[in-house]
Protein backbone atom coordinates (compact mmCIF):
# COMPACT_ATOMS: atom_id res chain seq x y z
CA UNK A 1 0.00 0.00 0.00
CA UNK A 2 1.31 3.50 -0.93
CA UNK A 3 1.75 6.03 1.88
CA UNK A 4 -1.23 8.01 0.49
CA UNK A 5 -3.33 4.81 0.75
CA UNK A 6 -2.14 4.28 4.32
CA UNK A 7 -3.01 7.89 5.20
CA UNK A 8 -6.51 7.57 3.78
CA UNK A 9 -7.12 4.31 5.74
CA UNK A 10 -5.94 6.02 8.93
CA UNK A 11 -8.29 8.96 8.25
CA UNK A 12 -11.18 6.53 7.78
CA UNK A 13 -10.33 4.75 11.00
CA UNK A 14 -10.12 8.05 12.84
CA UNK A 15 -13.48 9.23 11.60
CA UNK A 16 -15.10 5.89 12.62
CA UNK A 17 -13.61 6.29 16.08
CA UNK A 18 -14.89 9.87 16.33
CA UNK A 19 -18.30 8.77 15.16
CA UNK A 20 -18.34 6.07 17.82
CA UNK A 21 -17.59 8.58 20.57
CA UNK A 22 -20.16 11.13 19.45
CA UNK A 23 -22.77 8.63 18.28
CA UNK A 24 -26.30 9.79 19.27
CA UNK A 25 -27.91 7.87 22.13
CA UNK A 26 -30.11 4.92 21.13
CA UNK A 27 -33.75 5.95 20.65
CA UNK A 28 -35.70 5.69 23.89
CA UNK A 29 -38.07 2.76 24.15
CA UNK A 30 -41.11 2.93 26.37
CA UNK A 31 -40.00 0.39 28.93
CA UNK A 32 -41.09 1.06 32.53
CA UNK A 33 -38.28 2.70 34.55
CA UNK A 34 -36.38 0.27 36.84
CA UNK A 35 -37.06 0.88 40.52
CA UNK A 36 -34.21 2.88 42.05
CA UNK A 37 -32.03 0.92 44.51
CA UNK A 38 -33.20 2.10 47.90
CA UNK A 39 -30.46 3.92 49.82
CA UNK A 40 -29.60 2.09 53.03
CA UNK A 41 -29.65 3.94 56.33
CA UNK A 42 -26.32 4.04 58.21
CA UNK A 43 -27.70 1.41 60.59
CA UNK A 44 -28.68 -0.87 57.67
CA UNK A 45 -25.28 -0.33 56.04
CA UNK A 46 -23.59 -1.37 59.27
CA UNK A 47 -25.72 -4.50 59.44
CA UNK A 48 -25.03 -5.35 55.79
CA UNK A 49 -21.29 -5.00 56.47
CA UNK A 50 -21.46 -7.25 59.52
CA UNK A 51 -23.32 -9.89 57.47
CA UNK A 52 -20.80 -9.71 54.65
CA UNK A 53 -17.91 -9.93 57.11
CA UNK A 54 -19.54 -12.81 58.99
CA UNK A 55 -20.00 -14.82 55.77
CA UNK A 56 -16.45 -14.16 54.69
CA UNK A 57 -14.98 -15.11 58.09
CA UNK A 58 -17.07 -18.28 58.21
CA UNK A 59 -15.82 -19.35 54.77
CA UNK A 60 -12.23 -18.46 55.64
CA UNK A 61 -12.40 -20.44 58.90
CA UNK A 62 -13.68 -23.56 57.14
CA UNK A 63 -10.89 -23.41 54.54
CA UNK A 64 -8.37 -22.66 57.28
CA UNK A 65 -9.24 -25.81 59.25
CA UNK A 66 -9.28 -27.92 56.06
CA UNK A 67 -5.88 -26.55 55.04
CA UNK A 68 -4.43 -27.76 58.34
CA UNK A 69 -5.34 -31.40 57.77
CA UNK A 70 -2.84 -34.05 56.77
CA UNK A 71 -2.71 -37.84 56.50
CA UNK A 72 -1.24 -38.10 60.01
CA UNK A 73 -4.03 -38.02 62.59
CA UNK A 74 -1.96 -36.71 65.51
CA UNK A 75 -0.38 -33.94 63.44
CA UNK A 76 -3.84 -32.89 62.19
CA UNK A 77 -5.23 -32.89 65.73
CA UNK A 78 -2.44 -30.75 67.20
CA UNK A 79 -2.33 -28.37 64.21
CA UNK A 80 -6.09 -27.82 64.31
CA UNK A 81 -6.28 -27.68 68.12
CA UNK A 82 -6.21 -23.86 68.52
CA UNK A 83 -7.83 -23.25 65.14
CA UNK A 84 -10.95 -25.20 66.18
CA UNK A 85 -11.36 -23.36 69.49
CA UNK A 86 -13.88 -20.53 69.61
CA UNK A 87 -11.88 -17.36 69.03
CA UNK A 88 -12.52 -13.74 68.07
CA UNK A 89 -10.42 -14.20 64.90
CA UNK A 90 -9.28 -10.64 65.42
CA UNK A 91 -6.53 -10.71 62.80
CA UNK A 92 -8.67 -12.05 59.90
CA UNK A 93 -11.45 -9.61 60.81
CA UNK A 94 -9.02 -6.75 60.77
CA UNK A 95 -7.60 -7.80 57.41
CA UNK A 96 -11.02 -8.20 55.79
CA UNK A 97 -12.31 -4.89 57.15
CA UNK A 98 -9.15 -3.16 55.93
CA UNK A 99 -9.60 -4.84 52.55
CA UNK A 100 -13.14 -3.43 52.30
CA UNK A 101 -12.06 0.03 53.51
CA UNK A 102 -9.13 0.26 51.07
CA UNK A 103 -10.89 -1.43 48.15
CA UNK A 104 -13.64 1.19 48.35
CA UNK A 105 -10.99 3.77 47.42
CA UNK A 106 -10.20 1.89 44.19
CA UNK A 107 -13.83 1.23 43.25
CA UNK A 108 -13.98 -2.38 44.45
CA UNK A 109 -16.93 -3.46 46.64
CA UNK A 110 -15.72 -6.78 48.04
CA UNK A 111 -12.60 -8.31 49.52
CA UNK A 112 -10.45 -9.90 46.80
CA UNK A 113 -9.72 -13.67 46.91
CA UNK A 114 -6.03 -12.92 47.65
CA UNK A 115 -7.06 -10.78 50.61
CA UNK A 116 -9.20 -13.60 52.01
CA UNK A 117 -6.19 -15.88 51.53
CA UNK A 118 -4.00 -13.40 53.37
CA UNK A 119 -6.42 -13.47 56.32
CA UNK A 120 -5.98 -17.24 56.44
CA UNK A 121 -2.17 -17.07 56.18
CA UNK A 122 -1.88 -14.50 58.96
CA UNK A 123 -4.17 -16.53 61.23
CA UNK A 124 -1.96 -19.55 60.54
CA UNK A 125 1.15 -17.61 61.56
CA UNK A 126 -0.69 -16.49 64.71
CA UNK A 127 -1.53 -20.13 65.52
CA UNK A 128 2.15 -21.07 65.03
CA UNK A 129 3.20 -18.34 67.44
CA UNK A 130 0.76 -19.69 70.08
CA UNK A 131 1.88 -23.32 69.63
CA UNK A 132 5.48 -22.23 70.18
CA UNK A 133 4.77 -19.55 72.78
CA UNK A 134 2.97 -21.95 75.11
CA UNK A 135 6.09 -24.14 75.12
CA UNK A 136 8.42 -21.17 75.78
CA UNK A 137 6.16 -19.73 78.52
CA UNK A 138 5.38 -23.19 79.95
CA UNK A 139 1.68 -22.26 79.87
CA UNK A 140 -0.66 -25.00 81.04
CA UNK A 141 -3.79 -23.29 79.83
CA UNK A 142 -4.97 -21.17 76.95
CA UNK A 143 -8.43 -19.63 76.65
CA UNK A 144 -9.64 -21.54 79.67
CA UNK A 145 -8.63 -24.96 78.36
CA UNK A 146 -5.47 -27.07 78.35
CA UNK A 147 -2.71 -25.58 76.21
CA UNK A 148 -1.41 -27.62 73.25
CA UNK A 149 1.87 -28.54 75.02
CA UNK A 150 -0.06 -29.65 78.13
CA UNK A 151 -2.36 -31.83 76.07
CA UNK A 152 0.06 -33.17 73.45
CA UNK A 153 3.54 -32.50 74.85
CA UNK A 154 6.16 -29.87 73.98
CA UNK A 155 7.61 -31.84 71.08
CA UNK A 156 4.28 -32.23 69.30
CA UNK A 157 3.34 -28.60 69.90
CA UNK A 158 6.61 -27.38 68.34
CA UNK A 159 6.39 -29.80 65.42
CA UNK A 160 2.77 -28.91 64.71
CA UNK A 161 3.80 -25.22 64.77
CA UNK A 162 6.49 -25.93 62.18
CA UNK A 163 3.97 -27.82 60.08
CA UNK A 164 1.42 -24.97 60.19
CA UNK A 165 4.19 -22.53 59.25
CA UNK A 166 5.03 -24.72 56.25
CA UNK A 167 1.37 -24.69 55.18
CA UNK A 168 1.26 -20.90 55.53
CA UNK A 169 4.41 -20.59 53.41
CA UNK A 170 2.94 -22.73 50.66
CA UNK A 171 -0.11 -20.43 50.54
CA UNK A 172 1.95 -17.24 50.36
CA UNK A 173 2.69 -17.85 46.67
CA UNK A 174 -1.05 -17.55 45.95
CA UNK A 175 -0.84 -13.84 46.86
CA UNK A 176 1.01 -13.19 43.56
CA UNK A 177 2.41 -9.94 44.92
CA UNK A 178 6.09 -9.73 45.87
CA UNK A 179 5.75 -6.72 48.19
CA UNK A 180 2.97 -8.40 50.14
CA UNK A 181 4.91 -11.70 50.24
CA UNK A 182 7.99 -9.91 51.61
CA UNK A 183 5.92 -8.24 54.34
CA UNK A 184 4.40 -11.54 55.43
CA UNK A 185 7.78 -13.26 55.57
CA UNK A 186 8.85 -10.31 57.75
CA UNK A 187 6.01 -11.07 60.20
CA UNK A 188 7.71 -14.33 61.19
CA UNK A 189 11.22 -12.86 61.61
CA UNK A 190 9.84 -9.93 63.63
CA UNK A 191 7.91 -12.22 65.99
CA UNK A 192 11.06 -14.20 66.67
CA UNK A 193 13.09 -11.01 67.29
CA UNK A 194 10.41 -9.94 69.80
CA UNK A 195 10.68 -13.27 71.61
CA UNK A 196 14.46 -13.02 71.87
CA UNK A 197 14.33 -9.49 73.31
CA UNK A 198 11.70 -10.75 75.74
CA UNK A 199 13.98 -13.59 76.83
CA UNK A 200 16.89 -11.16 77.33
CA UNK A 201 14.69 -8.78 79.37
CA UNK A 202 13.53 -11.68 81.49
CA UNK A 203 17.11 -12.67 82.37
CA UNK A 204 18.11 -9.08 83.12
CA UNK A 205 15.09 -8.24 85.27
CA UNK A 206 16.26 -9.48 88.69
CA UNK A 207 19.46 -7.45 88.63
CA UNK A 208 17.77 -4.32 87.30
CA UNK A 209 15.03 -4.41 89.94
CA UNK A 210 17.60 -4.90 92.73
CA UNK A 211 19.56 -1.91 91.48
CA UNK A 212 16.36 0.18 91.21
CA UNK A 213 16.83 0.47 87.45
CA UNK A 214 13.77 -1.43 86.30
CA UNK A 215 12.43 1.73 84.64
CA UNK A 216 15.32 1.45 82.14
CA UNK A 217 13.31 -1.28 80.51
CA UNK A 218 10.43 1.02 79.37
CA UNK A 219 11.99 1.44 75.93
CA UNK A 220 12.61 -2.24 75.61
CA UNK A 221 8.99 -2.94 76.67
CA UNK A 222 7.62 -0.70 73.93
CA UNK A 223 9.95 -2.30 71.40
CA UNK A 224 8.95 -5.82 72.37
CA UNK A 225 5.20 -5.12 72.28
CA UNK A 226 5.71 -3.54 68.87
CA UNK A 227 7.61 -6.60 67.64
CA UNK A 228 5.17 -9.14 69.04
CA UNK A 229 1.87 -7.45 68.18
CA UNK A 230 2.12 -4.03 66.51
CA UNK A 231 4.41 -5.14 63.73
CA UNK A 232 2.27 -8.15 62.81
CA UNK A 233 -0.84 -5.95 62.55
CA UNK A 234 1.07 -3.32 60.55
CA UNK A 235 2.63 -5.73 58.09
CA UNK A 236 -0.60 -7.68 57.62
CA UNK A 237 -2.58 -4.52 56.90
CA UNK A 238 0.02 -3.00 54.58
CA UNK A 239 -0.02 -6.29 52.63
CA UNK A 240 -3.82 -6.14 52.50
CA UNK A 241 -3.70 -2.67 50.96
CA UNK A 242 -0.97 -3.66 48.48
CA UNK A 243 -3.14 -6.57 47.34
CA UNK A 244 -5.65 -3.92 46.21
CA UNK A 245 -3.02 -2.97 43.64
CA UNK A 246 -1.52 -0.03 45.54
CA UNK A 247 2.25 0.58 45.52
CA UNK A 248 4.11 0.13 48.81
CA UNK A 249 4.59 3.92 49.24
CA UNK A 250 0.94 4.85 48.61
CA UNK A 251 -0.44 6.96 51.47
CA UNK A 252 -3.27 4.46 52.02
CA UNK A 253 -0.77 1.59 52.46
CA UNK A 254 1.25 3.65 54.95
CA UNK A 255 -1.92 4.78 56.75
CA UNK A 256 -3.28 1.29 57.37
CA UNK A 257 0.23 0.26 58.47
CA UNK A 258 0.24 3.07 61.06
CA UNK A 259 -3.28 2.09 62.11
CA UNK A 260 -2.07 -1.52 62.58
CA UNK A 261 0.95 -0.48 64.64
CA UNK A 262 -1.07 1.77 66.95
CA UNK A 263 -3.99 -0.65 67.31
CA UNK A 264 -1.54 -3.48 68.05
CA UNK A 265 0.18 -1.42 70.76
CA UNK A 266 -3.17 -0.48 72.32
CA UNK A 267 -4.28 -4.14 72.17
CA UNK A 268 -1.11 -5.39 73.86
CA UNK A 269 -1.10 -2.66 76.55
CA UNK A 270 -4.70 -3.61 77.46
CA UNK A 271 -3.64 -7.28 77.50
CA UNK A 272 -0.99 -6.30 80.03
CA UNK A 273 -3.55 -4.38 82.13
CA UNK A 274 -5.89 -7.41 82.12
CA UNK A 275 -3.08 -9.41 83.71
CA UNK A 276 -3.81 -7.40 86.89
CA UNK A 277 -7.59 -7.66 86.79
CA UNK A 278 -7.75 -10.11 89.65
CA UNK A 279 -5.92 -13.12 90.95
CA UNK A 280 -7.30 -16.57 91.53
CA UNK A 281 -6.21 -20.12 90.73
CA UNK A 282 -6.51 -21.66 87.26
CA UNK A 283 -7.63 -25.22 86.38
CA UNK A 284 -4.00 -26.38 86.66
CA UNK A 285 -3.76 -24.94 90.21
CA UNK A 286 -1.45 -22.06 89.25
CA UNK A 287 -2.24 -18.51 90.37
CA UNK A 288 -3.60 -16.24 87.65
CA UNK A 289 -2.53 -12.62 87.36
CA UNK A 290 0.91 -10.99 87.07
CA UNK A 291 1.76 -13.76 84.59
CA UNK A 292 4.36 -11.67 82.79
CA UNK A 293 6.10 -10.74 86.02
CA UNK A 294 6.36 -14.40 86.94
CA UNK A 295 8.02 -14.90 83.55
CA UNK A 296 10.44 -12.10 84.45
CA UNK A 297 8.82 -9.36 82.38
CA UNK A 298 7.81 -5.89 83.48
CA UNK A 299 4.79 -4.46 81.68
CA UNK A 300 3.17 -1.01 81.73
CA UNK A 301 1.14 -1.48 84.97
CA UNK A 302 4.24 -2.55 86.91
CA UNK A 303 6.35 0.29 85.49
CA UNK A 304 3.74 2.79 86.70
CA UNK A 305 3.29 1.08 90.09
CA UNK A 306 7.08 1.03 90.58
CA UNK A 307 7.09 4.82 90.19
CA UNK A 308 4.66 5.15 93.11
CA UNK A 309 5.69 2.35 95.47
CA UNK A 310 9.24 1.34 94.45
CA UNK A 311 10.48 -0.01 97.78
CA UNK A 312 7.42 -2.11 98.41
CA UNK A 313 7.25 -3.59 94.91
CA UNK A 314 10.93 -4.10 94.03
CA UNK A 315 11.50 -7.28 96.12
CA UNK A 316 8.61 -9.08 94.36
CA UNK A 317 9.86 -7.91 90.99
CA UNK A 318 13.44 -9.00 91.57
CA UNK A 319 12.39 -12.48 92.73
CA UNK A 320 9.79 -12.71 89.94
CA UNK A 321 6.94 -13.50 92.38
CA UNK A 322 8.50 -16.86 93.13
CA UNK A 323 7.28 -17.22 96.74
CA UNK A 324 3.77 -18.29 97.76
CA UNK A 325 1.43 -15.33 98.05
CA UNK A 326 3.70 -13.01 96.00
CA UNK A 327 1.35 -12.87 93.01
CA UNK A 328 -1.63 -11.79 95.12
CA UNK A 329 0.48 -9.13 96.86
CA UNK A 330 1.73 -7.66 93.60
CA UNK A 331 -1.77 -7.58 92.13
CA UNK A 332 -3.02 -5.84 95.31
CA UNK A 333 -0.24 -3.20 95.25
CA UNK A 334 -0.67 -2.50 91.54
CA UNK A 335 -4.41 -2.11 91.99
CA UNK A 336 -3.96 0.29 94.92
CA UNK A 337 -1.86 2.68 92.81
CA UNK A 338 -2.95 4.68 89.78
CA UNK A 339 -1.08 2.17 87.56
CA UNK A 340 -4.15 0.68 85.87
CA UNK A 341 -5.87 4.00 84.96
CA UNK A 342 -2.51 5.23 83.63
CA UNK A 343 -2.09 2.05 81.61
CA UNK A 344 -5.56 2.50 80.11
CA UNK A 345 -4.74 6.14 79.33
CA UNK A 346 -1.57 5.03 77.50
CA UNK A 347 -3.55 2.50 75.47
CA UNK A 348 -6.17 5.17 74.70
CA UNK A 349 -3.45 7.45 73.26
CA UNK A 350 -2.41 4.73 70.85
CA UNK A 351 -6.04 3.99 69.96
CA UNK A 352 -6.50 7.68 69.12
CA UNK A 353 -3.41 7.62 66.88
CA UNK A 354 -4.87 4.56 65.15
CA UNK A 355 -8.12 6.43 64.43
CA UNK A 356 -6.20 9.49 63.20
CA UNK A 357 -4.24 7.35 60.74
CA UNK A 358 -7.45 6.14 59.08
CA UNK A 359 -8.54 9.60 58.01
CA UNK A 360 -6.85 9.36 54.60
CA UNK A 361 -9.33 6.62 53.61
CA UNK A 362 -12.79 7.53 52.27
CA UNK A 363 -15.56 7.47 54.83
CA UNK A 364 -17.27 4.06 54.51
CA UNK A 365 -18.98 1.61 56.88
CA UNK A 366 -15.75 -0.47 56.80
CA UNK A 367 -13.65 2.50 57.91
CA UNK A 368 -16.22 3.22 60.64
CA UNK A 369 -15.90 -0.40 61.79
CA UNK A 370 -12.09 -0.09 61.92
CA UNK A 371 -12.50 3.04 64.02
CA UNK A 372 -14.98 1.28 66.31
CA UNK A 373 -12.48 -1.54 66.78
CA UNK A 374 -10.06 0.87 68.45
CA UNK A 375 -12.71 1.53 71.11
CA UNK A 376 -13.56 -2.16 71.48
CA UNK A 377 -9.91 -2.96 72.12
CA UNK A 378 -9.93 -0.51 75.03
CA UNK A 379 -13.07 -1.92 76.62
CA UNK A 380 -12.38 -5.64 76.20
CA UNK A 381 -12.29 -7.63 79.41
CA UNK A 382 -10.58 -10.82 78.21
C1 LIG B 1 2.01 -14.36 72.94
O2 LIG B 1 2.43 -13.42 73.87
C3 LIG B 1 3.09 -14.57 71.95
C4 LIG B 1 3.22 -13.96 70.76
C5 LIG B 1 2.22 -12.98 70.30
C6 LIG B 1 4.38 -14.20 69.86
C7 LIG B 1 5.16 -15.46 70.09
C8 LIG B 1 6.21 -15.63 69.05
C9 LIG B 1 7.02 -16.69 68.96
C10 LIG B 1 6.92 -17.84 69.89
C11 LIG B 1 8.06 -16.72 67.87
C12 LIG B 1 7.84 -17.82 66.89
C13 LIG B 1 6.76 -17.49 65.92
C14 LIG B 1 6.63 -18.02 64.68
C15 LIG B 1 5.50 -17.61 63.83
C16 LIG B 1 7.61 -19.00 64.12
P17 LIG B 1 2.17 -13.61 75.43
O18 LIG B 1 2.92 -14.78 75.95
O19 LIG B 1 2.43 -12.31 76.09
O20 LIG B 1 0.61 -13.80 75.46
P21 LIG B 1 -0.28 -15.05 75.86
O22 LIG B 1 -0.88 -14.68 77.15
O23 LIG B 1 -1.31 -15.14 74.76
O24 LIG B 1 0.59 -16.25 75.94
MG1 LIG C 1 2.52 -16.68 76.47
Q: Whose CA is nearest to atom 9 of ligand 1?
A: 129
The greatest distance separating any two alpha carbons of the chain, rounded to the nearest whole angstrom, comes to 101
* Predicted confidence band of residue 212 (pLDDT cuts 50, 70, 90): low
End-to-end CA distance of the chain: 80
* Predicted confidence band of residue 213 (pLDDT cuts 50, 70, 90): confident
Instruction: Express each pLDDT in 164-196 by its tens digit.
Output: 999 999 999 989 999 999 999 999 999 999 999
Residue 38 pLDDT greater than 90, yes or no: no
pLDDT score for 23 = 37
pLDDT score for 39 = 77
201 touches ligand 1 (CB under 6 Å):
no
User: What SS3 class is residue 142?
Assistant: strand
Instruction: Express each pLDDT in 104-157 by its tens digit.
Output: 999 998 999 999 999 999 999 999 999 999 999 999 999 889 999 999 999 999
254 touches ligand 1 (CB under 6 Å):
no
User: What SS3 class is residue 281?
Assistant: strand
Q: Whose CA is nearest to atom 7 of ligand 1?
A: 129
pLDDT score for 9 = 47
Considering every ligand atom shown, identify the ligand nearest to the alpha carbon of residue 129 and give its number.
1
Percent of the chain with pLDDT over 70: 85
Q: What phi and psi values does residue 350 have, to the nearest 5 degrees? A: -70, -35
Q: From the alpha carbon of 268, which atom of ligand 1 is closest?
A: 19
Residue 280 pLDDT greater than 70, yes or no: no
Residue 34 pLDDT greater than 90, yes or no: no
CB atoms within 10 A of CB 195: 18
Please give the Cα distance from 347 to 271 (Å, whole number). 10
Mutate to test the pocket of ligand 1, among 149, 194, 228 (most ligand atoms within 8 A of CB): 228
Q: Contact at 8 Å (CB) between 78 and 127?
A: no
No. of H helices and E strands in the chain?
Answer: 17, 2
126 touches ligand 1 (CB under 6 Å):
no
Considering every ligand atom shown, identify the ligand nearest to the alpha carbon of residue 292 and give its number.
1
Q: From the alpha carbon of 137, which atom of ligand 1 is closest?
A: 18
pLDDT score for 369 = 96
Q: What is the mean pLDDT of residues 214-243?
A: 91
pLDDT score for 319 = 87
Q: What is the mean pLDDT of residues 243-265?
A: 97
Mean pLDDT for all residues in the chain: 87
275 touches ligand 1 (CB under 6 Å):
no
User: What SS3 class is residue 146?
Assistant: strand
pLDDT score for 277 = 84
Q: What is the mean pLDDT of residues 51-66?
A: 94
Lowest-pLDDT choice from 104-113, 271-280, 340-349 = 271-280
Burial of 325 (0-12, 13-18, 19+ CB in 10 A): exposed
133 touches ligand 1 (CB under 6 Å):
yes
pLDDT score for 174 = 87
297 touches ligand 1 (CB under 6 Å):
no
Give the range with max mean pLDDT: 135-149, 213-227, 313-327: 135-149
Considering every ligand atom shown, identify the ligand nearest to the alpha carbon of residue 271 and give its number.
1
pLDDT score for 132 = 97
Residue 12 pLDDT greater than 70, yes or no: no
Please give the Cα distance from 367 to 103 (Å, whole number). 11
Q: Contact at 8 Å (CB) between 193 and 220?
A: no
Q: From the alpha carbon of 297, which atom of ligand 1 is closest?
A: 19
Q: Whose CA is nearest to atom 13 of ligand 1?
A: 129
Residue 13 pLDDT greater than 90, yes or no: no
195 touches ligand 1 (CB under 6 Å):
yes
State which residues have CB under 5 angstroms from ligand 2, the bound ion: 133, 137
Lowest-pLDDT choice from 25-39, 205-219, 245-259, 341-355 = 25-39
Q: What is the mean pLDDT of residues 307-336?
A: 89
Q: Which residues of 2-32 are buried (b: 16+ CB within 10 A; e: fewer)?
A: eeeeeeeeeeeeeeeeeeeeeeeeeeeeeee
Residue 292 pLDDT greater than 70, yes or no: yes
Residue 17 pLDDT greater than 80, yes or no: no
Tell me, rounded to whole angstroms, the distance of Cα 256 from its chain centroid: 12
* Predicted confidence band of residue 33 (pLDDT cuts 50, 70, 90): low
* Predicted confidence band of residue 8 (pLDDT cuts 50, 70, 90): very low
Considering every ligand atom shown, identify the ligand nearest to the alpha carbon of residue 133 and give its number.
1
Backbone region of residue 224 per phi and psi (left: phi > 0; alpha: psi in -120 to 50; beta: other values): alpha
Q: From the alpha carbon of 187, which atom of ligand 1 is closest?
A: 15
Please give the Cα distance from 145 to 250 (Å, whole number). 43
Q: Whose CA is nearest to atom 18 of ligand 1?
A: 133
Amino acid sequence: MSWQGLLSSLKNLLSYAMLATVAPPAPKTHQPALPAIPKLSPEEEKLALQEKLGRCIQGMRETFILDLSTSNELLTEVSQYYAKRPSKLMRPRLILLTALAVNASVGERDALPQQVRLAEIVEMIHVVSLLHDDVIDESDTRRGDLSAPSKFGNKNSILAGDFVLGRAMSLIAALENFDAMREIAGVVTTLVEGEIIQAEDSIALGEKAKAGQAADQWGSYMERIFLKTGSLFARALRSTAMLSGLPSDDERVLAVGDYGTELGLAFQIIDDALDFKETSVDSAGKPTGAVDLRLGLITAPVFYALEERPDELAPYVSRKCSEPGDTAEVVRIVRETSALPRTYALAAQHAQKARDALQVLPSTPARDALEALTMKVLSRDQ
